[in-house]
Amino acid sequence: MNTTQPPRATDLQSPSDASLPTTRLFSLAPTGGEARGEGEKRRAVRTRPNLRAPFGTVIEPARRLSSAALPLTPPSPPVGAREFAFGRRTVSRAHLALFFLSLFFCQLSRAAVPTDAEIRDAYHKSYRYEKAQNYADAIKALAPVVDAYPTAYTVNLRLGWLNYLTGGFATARKHYETAIKAAPDSIEAKLGHTLPLMAQEKWDDAAAVARQVLRIDPSNYTANLRLAYVLRLQKKFDAAEQILNGMLVLYPTDISLLTEFALIKLAKDNKPEAKRVFNDILTLDPENVTAKAQLSKL
């Protein structure tokens, strides 16, 4: 006679299912509905739905593992792998190497950040090089600053200007754009941005940036002058003249505005008016090269 006791229903329940009503999983004696015919009486196993599985899925009763079925020693690591135990975790040599390498570069980056005194010294060197028209070294002097603060406003504004002076217009534009991202309402950064755009003859882009300034400051002298210049080169003479008429009310004797106004009159084939304005320019600025050159042709 088999004396092994069947597992109890509570042994088959998970902790979260303990509150569910327990069904009789193993019959201990035949009942009227369980005995069928002659021969050996079979144990009837009932299954219940798994509340964590999809609807309609049933699971078999869990089997208890004896301690004899458990391995006595943990599996050995792959051949060639060296591992180190830290508490309950096992870390490979490669992971340790990456960890210490990241610490090294972290300390290196901290050491590379310049102090306030070093930043001031870098700017002072850059100004001295620019004054001597050594623009390449003026740019190099700011390398520690831009490396430590690649998105900072001031250093990108200055690098935009210096690269414009060297003829690196594409690089100048990138620095000006970075400065504008750092200070979106900055007028000086936008005005600086128009310089490499005009140098590359990107007239539409330059006009768009000038108009961005005028939306902030409608009477801005530089933005109005550069927009009039761009419009003249685009042969939009009436729009350019309208801008200059308004600015000459504010600055009646400004040489740059008067020169641009005279050039527009000349472009519109109004030679008498152009000649008059060029003569006025020579009265205010006797050595004005543009006025002398144009009057010699009239």
How does 145-160 read in b/e, with b if 16+ C-beta sit within 10 Å?
bbeebeeebebbbbbb
234 and 188, same structural domain? Answer: no
Q: Give the chain's domain count.
A: 2
Residue that wins the pLDDT comparison between 61 and 93: 93
242 and 189, same structural domain? Answer: no
Predicted pLDDT at 103: 65
The pLDDT of 238-253, averaged and rounded, is 97
184 and 137, same structural domain? Answer: yes
- Please report how many Cα atoms fall inside a 13 Å half-sphere around the Cα of residue 19, on the Cβ side: 2
SS3 for 93-156 is HHHHHHHHHHHHHHHHHHHHCCCHHHHHHHHHHHHHHHHCCCHHHHHHCCHHHHHHCCCCHHHH
Domain assignment of residue 214, yes or no: no
Q: Which two tokens stand for residue 276?
A: 């008059």
CATH code of the domain in which 269 resides: 1.25.40.10
231 and 195, same structural domain? Answer: no
Predicted pLDDT at 99: 64
Predicted pLDDT at 298: 86
Domain assignment of residue 88, yes or no: no
- Does pLDDT of 29 surpass 60? no
Indicate the residue type of 51: L
Model pLDDT for residues 202-234, shown as the tens digit of each residue: 999 999 999 999 999 999 999 999 999 999 999
The residue out of 155, 181, 200 marking a domain boundary is: 200
- Does pLDDT of 235 surpass 80? yes
The residue out of 200, 235, 266 marking a domain boundary is: 200
Domain assignment of residue 146, yes or no: yes
pLDDT band at 196 (very low <50, low <70, confident <90, very high): very high
State CA 68 to chain mean position distance: 59
Distance CA 298, CA 71 (A): 106
pLDDT band at 35 (very low <50, low <70, confident <90, very high): very low
Predicted pLDDT at 101: 67
The pLDDT of 261-286, averaged and rounded, is 96
The residue out of 165, 200, 235 marking a domain boundary is: 200
Domain assignment of residue 79, yes or no: no
231 and 192, same structural domain? Answer: no
Q: Which of 243, 265, 246 lies closest to 281 in space, CA to CA?
A: 265
Domain assignment of residue 215, yes or no: no
User: Which domain covers residue 243, as residue numbers?
Assistant: 227-298
Residue that wins the pLDDT comparison between 165 and 86: 165
Domain assignment of residue 124, yes or no: yes
132 and 175, same structural domain? Answer: yes
Distance CA 272, CA 283 (A): 17
Full-model pTM: 0.62
Domain assignment of residue 87, yes or no: no
- Please report how many Cα atoms fall inside a 13 Å half-sphere around the Cα of residue 103, on the Cβ side: 6
Q: Which two tokens stand for residue 101?
A: 């390498």
Domain assignment of residue 48, yes or no: no
233 and 196, same structural domain? Answer: no
- Does pLDDT of 41 surpass 60? no
- Does pLDDT of 154 surpass 70? yes
